């Protein structure tokens, strides 16, 4: 004796088999196209996104989802290559991991200083330290207008190593990797 589920499956197969060949072909083509579009969308998303882990204490989040090749807006987390300054190489190696900081200044914004306070468009964003925790001299970063295609990035952490220092400076498109969303 056939069970009800078996009867339903046979009935569904029977309905599909009784449909005209053209409808079956169109259904198969639609399913193939929808599947291909879904795979392409996932592949495109995968090619532009990466999970990053922040091992420093300079930001409140420790896990980020990177979106490559997106120029940041003010307040966005920006991901960039820190460059090859001797101080960067000594502390982070020959091939340092990307840095994640907050975008404080955009092209055309004014970066200035009053004492140790670093100011962007009249708003204090960070403070300079004269030396690293290991005693090495830190050179103050760039002042003036943020150039086209560049950002001024930093963090509120007192030991943040970012655009406030010459070793990092303005982050321009040649070092810009993308933006990030804090997820944890």
Domain ranges of the chain: 4-48, 54-182
What pTM did the predictor assign?
0.76
Residue 11 has a pLDDT of: 54
Length of the chain: 184
Contact present, 63 and 182 (Cβ < 8 Å): yes
Q: What is the mean pLDDT of residues 85-96?
A: 94
Choosing among 2.170.120, 1.10.3470, 2.10.109, 2.40.50, the CATH entry for 54-182 is: 2.10.109
In terms of pLDDT, which residue wins out, 15 or 123?
123
DSSP helix/strand/coil, 118: strand
* Residue that has been written with the tokens 């404080």 in this structure: 104
DSSP state of 157: S
CA 56 to chain centre: 16
Reply yes or no on whether the pLDDT at 94 is more than 80. Answer: yes
CA 88/CA 84 separation, integer angstroms: 6
Helix H, strand E, coil C: the string for 51-79 is EEECCCCCCCCCEEEEEECCCCCCCCEEE
Query: Backbone phi, then psi, for 141, in 5-degree steps?
Result: -80, -175
What pLDDT does residue 5 have? 53
Select the more confidently predicted residue: 116 or 1.
116
Q: Report how many helices (DSSP H) and strands (DSSP E) the chain contains, helices first.
A: 3, 11
Radius of gyration of the chain (CA): 26
């Amino acid at each position: 004796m056939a069970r009800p589920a078996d009867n339903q499956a046979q009935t569904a197969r029977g309905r599909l088999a009784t449909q005209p060949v053209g409808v079956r072909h169109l259904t198969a083509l639609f399913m193939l196209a929808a599947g291909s579009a879904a795979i392409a969308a996932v592949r495109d998303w995968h090619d532009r996104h990466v999970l990053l882990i922040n091992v420093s204490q300079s930001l409140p989040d420790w896990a980020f989802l990177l979106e490559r090749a997106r120029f940041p807006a003010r307040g966005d987390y920006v991901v960039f290559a820190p460059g090859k300054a001797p101080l960067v190489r000594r502390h982070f190696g020959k091939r340092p991991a990307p840095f994640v900081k907050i975008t404080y200044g955009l092209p055309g914004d004014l970066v200035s200083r009053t004492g140790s306070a670093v100011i962007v468009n009249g708003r204090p964003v960070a403070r300079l330290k004269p030396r690293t925790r290991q005693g090495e001299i830190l050179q103050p970063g760039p002042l003036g207008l943020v150039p086209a295609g560049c950002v001024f990035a930093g963090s509120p952490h007192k030991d943040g190593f970012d655009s406030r220092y010459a070793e990092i400076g303005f982050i321009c498109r040649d070092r810009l990797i993308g933006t990030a969303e804090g997820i944890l």
